[in-house]
Amino acid sequence: MTTQSVPQNTQSTRKKVDVLSVAGRYGALIFLIVLCVIFAVLEPAFISTRNIFNVIRQVSIYGMLAIGMTFVILTGGIDLSIGSVLALAGLVCAAVEKGSRGLLGAGAGEAHGFGLPAAVAAAIAVGLIAGASQGLAVSRMKVPPFIVTLGGMSVFRGLALVFSGGQPISAFRAPYKFWGQGMIGPVPVPVILFLAFAIIAYIVLRYTRYGRHIYAVGGNQEAARLSGLNVSALILSVYVIMGFFAGLSGFVLSSRLNSAEQVAGVGYELQVIAGVVIGGTSLTMGGEGGVFGTVVGILLMGVLSNGLTLMNVSPYYQQIIVGLIIVFAVYFDQVVKQRRR
């Protein structure tokens, strides 16, 4: 009876593949921990409680948008209109809060609007309508998501300009500002909102039938359709979810800044998509990734920006670094998938 030995080169190949798989799954988290250690050594102020909460508060708006974007990208889609929808939702929300006088701008004085619940409902309604209209174009009309949302980015920004007349709406009352500037204990309210929605989204994607259906559609739409899933309805639903988070984020951002402006959210698409991709959700192939990775990716972006700022690195160089990280993350994602195949 002879014992067959496994060739040494095969064993080393397996080890390499295993290491690569682990790095592909936990690479963002490892990189986040390494960054935190480096910045803590170079700048002790980085690890202060105040700075840590400041980092999370800074990324909370991006984080809520990234949660919605995760649902979209998991189905193989993309949404480039989120910044524009955020701006429009924030303006509508502010106008409802301030009343008709809110459209006169910051100098209009104290206005008597329709109250905070109506304002928040208006912001979310704007986001839902925007998401549903784009979702219908993608799911029913079969227009590529990139084209639909690229057009939406222009349309909704234009609507924000028309609605506001190019003027900001500002000077809100205390209950409105609480949701962007308030604290519950030592924790900023936007941080609580971000983490709460992240937990809910994680549970939905990981433990519900709807979440499994989202992954199935992203993995193979035709196979999902043949399995009896309503692919069009599922694709529509993820754009509605994205719209919800864009509308909510418009309200929270205007609350935090005490101002709603037509230029709000410009460039947010890059930050949000970067966080989702760095967190491991694949742009090139749907059905891979999740909310935990997205949270890690968004925090990584925030830590990187904060640490570089504390070290007095120019914002111009920060943009270069972020761009390079995005390219590397996508490249690494493709390498891991090729090795798995």
- Segment 249-266 mean pLDDT: 93
Could you tell me what percent of the chain has a pLDDT over 70? 87
Query: Has residue 238 got a pLDDT over 90?
Result: yes
The pair of structure tokens assigned to 81 is: 């209109």
CA distances from residue 83 to 80, 109, 154, 244, 274 in whole angstroms, order as listed: 8, 28, 10, 13, 14
Query: Has residue 324 got a pLDDT over 70?
Result: yes
pLDDT of residue 143: 94
**pLDDT digit string, tens, across residues 70-98:** 999 999 999 999 999 999 999 999 999 98
Reported as a pLDDT band with limits 50, 70 and 90, residue 22 is: low
| 242 within 8 A of 150, measured Cβ to Cβ | no
pLDDT of residue 178: 94
pLDDT of residue 150: 95
| 69 within 8 A of 242, measured Cβ to Cβ | yes
Q: Which of 76-80, 300-304, 319-323 has the lowest mean pLDDT?
A: 319-323
Centroid of chain to Cα 212: 20
**pLDDT digit string, tens, across residues 103-150:** 544 444 444 678 899 999 999 999 999 999 999 999 999 999 999 999
pLDDT of residue 104: 46
Q: Which of 30-34, 74-78, 111-115, 236-240 has the lowest mean pLDDT?
A: 111-115
